[in-house]
Amino acid sequence: MSSADYWDERYDAADETLEKMRNVVSAATAFNTNIDAVVKISGARLAEIADALGLDWDSLSFPERSEILSPADVVKGAFRCFSKGIAEEWLVKDKAVFDWMQQHLGFDRMQMGGQGGIVANALAVCGVQKVVDHCNSLPKAQAEQFLKLDNLQSFDETGRLMPAYQIDRKEDVPLIHWIIEFDKGDVFDVGGHRVVCPKSNRFIATYDPLNFNLVMDANFVKYLDRHPVEVVVLSGYHALTSEGDGVRLVRDSLPLVKSWQEKGTLVHLEVASTQDTAVRKAIVDIIASQADSIGLNERETCDVLRVIDEGELADICDRNPSATNLFDAVLRIKKKVGCRRIQLHMFGLYLTIQDKGFPITPEQNLHGMCLAATVAASKAGTGHINEVRNLMWAKGIKPCEIGLRELDNLAGYAGSRALGDTGIGQYDAYDVIAVPTLLVEKPLTLVGMGDTISSISLIGALKA
């Protein structure tokens, strides 16, 4: 059987894996749920705003910080992501900047934001029987971002668990984040310099006082103590700062994570783009080392390398984010951090490295990763996966050539012919699973793509 025929057969089973995902009884998502204000911005418009703020080539190309203290920082962060085709999230420290974004950026649409909320919607529409989402703010505007599904639940002001879309905690203030999207091939001209965006992506500017302080809903904590779930998908730490006591907040959450695991819950951590280095190190040392599974993209992999004293390897991956370089990176993280399962989603390829004997077998992982690739491509192609009929939109798209090439390169590098032939191999003491993904040439959205990939890869594999 040819490689193309093999992967066609694997992807043909995605709808069967989706059907089995409906046998997952319960999952929870925490801690960050908010509203995203999404705006597609052109290179010309970004250049116009930069000019109005008096920003020149040097100030745009060499930002002095990766946090937002002024409107100029919003443009600098957006330009950085535009010019490199990368995704980053920077934190807005001043409400006046938030007000400036409302006035000067506007938005095309509002949608669910935060890893917790995005994953909750994805798991619920995929059929997990009960999904419990942590919300530290749930007014009507937030409730409207939840899918109208009775299996997707949260807590009202009295602590009652009920369908999240029906809740209106009137005293809560909406938490709104800006998602600035840009397109591959778009052009930015400034001061005689021309930059062409190499890859469609986005820049996130976040103003969120509650998540900045990792505020936890007592009703959610109490419920999970009494009603353990099969999986918790955990994120939200990336919004913390060391000056805001973020390291302590990370450390203080560890007993809660351990208590879930002691009850038999599998805990998956989405590392996310964490700009504060001290907080990033705390997340890696304290939470990632304890988690059963973690999810990373290329950028986050480099960020983790830098806080485990692997800056040289991070520089190599920055210059050339190939499958072989990132394989080395994930192995290094695996050995130094100690997490039992790590999944990387990179351009064209998904890679999982896990301990032998992990509760989810390599074959199950492969099924979950193919399902995740199909759902992610469907989300990119349709703009959303709010309806069951959209989930398999991408079925029939061929695995991308770049992914197939990267898989071949990786198999040769790892010395595992089986990995290249079947997507499942071994390296040292670990199981290695790799899947060439499905690419949509002109995606309608990229927001929450990594979170969707990681969560469905894991939870879609549970019953596969």
- What are the pLDDT digits (tens) for 243-271? 889 999 999 999 999 999 999 999 999 99
Residue 169 lies in a domain: no
Can you say how many angstroms the Cα of residue 41 is from the centroid of all Cα atoms in its chain? 21
- In degrees, to the nearest 5, what angle opens at C-alpha 203 toward C-alphas 202 and 206? 135
Same domain as 342, residue 301: yes
CB 291 within 8 A of CB 234: yes
Same domain as 336, residue 191: no
Q: What is the average pLDDT across 123-130? A: 98
CATH number at residue 97: 3.30.1110.20
| pLDDT at 446 (0 to 100) | 78
Lowest-pLDDT range of 34-38, 51-55, 338-342: 34-38
In the numeric block, which tokens belong to residue 52? 């109005």
| pLDDT at 1 (0 to 100) | 60
CB 133 within 8 A of CB 152: yes
User: Is pLDDT at 25 greater than 80 in this prediction?
Assistant: yes
Same domain as 384, residue 274: yes
Residue 147 lies in a domain: yes
User: Is pLDDT at 327 greater than 70 in this prediction?
Assistant: yes
Residue 164 lies in a domain: no
CA distances from 358 to 145, 162, 354, 458 (A): 35, 34, 7, 12
Lowest-pLDDT range of 21-25, 29-33, 200-204: 200-204
Q: Count structural domains, the chain.
A: 2
Residue 358 lies in a domain: yes
226-250 exposure pattern, b = at least 16 Cβ within 10 A, e = fewer: eebbbbbbbbbbbbbbeebebbebb
Residue 165 lies in a domain: no
Same domain as 142, residue 30: yes
Same domain as 280, residue 184: no
Q: Is the backbone peptide bond immediately before 31 cis, with ω within 30 degrees of 0?
A: yes
| pLDDT at 436 (0 to 100) | 97
63 vs 226: which has the higher pLDDT: 226
Which of 202, 208, 167, 155 is CA-nearest to residue 183? Answer: 202
CATH number at residue 13: 3.40.1190.20
What is the distance between the alpha carbons of residues 327 and 388, in angstroms, rounded to a whole number?
34
pTM over 0.75: yes
Same domain as 388, residue 421: yes
Same domain as 306, residue 233: yes
Read off the pLDDT of residues 394-448 as tens digits, 9 standing for 90 and up: 999 999 999 999 999 999 999 999 999 999 999 999 999 999 999 998 888 877 8
Read off the pLDDT of residues 237-246 as tens digits, 9 standing for 90 and up: 998 989 889 9
> Phi and psi for 129 in degrees, rounded to 5?
-65, -35
Same domain as 298, residue 194: no
Same domain as 83, residue 10: no
Same domain as 68, residue 10: no
Write out the E strands in 76-225. Answer: 88-91, 109-113, 130-133, 152-155, 161-163, 176-182, 187-190, 193-196, 201-206
In sequence order, the 6+-apart residues with CB closer than 8 A to the CB of 48 are none
Read off the pLDDT of residues 128-160 as tens digits, 9 standing for 90 and up: 999 999 999 999 989 999 999 999 999 999 999
Read off the pLDDT of residues 185-237 as tens digits, 9 standing for 90 and up: 999 998 889 999 999 999 999 888 788 889 999 999 999 999 999 999 999 99
Q: What is the average pLDDT across 293-305? A: 97
Residue 59 lies in a domain: yes
Instruction: Please name the residue that has the structure tokens 């003491």.
Output: 429
Residue 304 lies in a domain: yes
Domain residues for the domain of 426 are 3-34+117-136+138-158+216-459
Same domain as 131, residue 20: yes
Q: What is the average pLDDT across 81-87? A: 93
Same domain as 445, residue 301: yes
Residue 189 lies in a domain: yes
What is the distance between the alpha carbons of residues 30 and 293, in angstroms, rounded to a whole number?
15
Q: What is the average pLDDT across 7-13? A: 96
Helix-strand-coil percent breakdown of the chain, rounded to 5?
A: 45, 20, 35
> What residues does 109 pair with on adjacent strands?
38
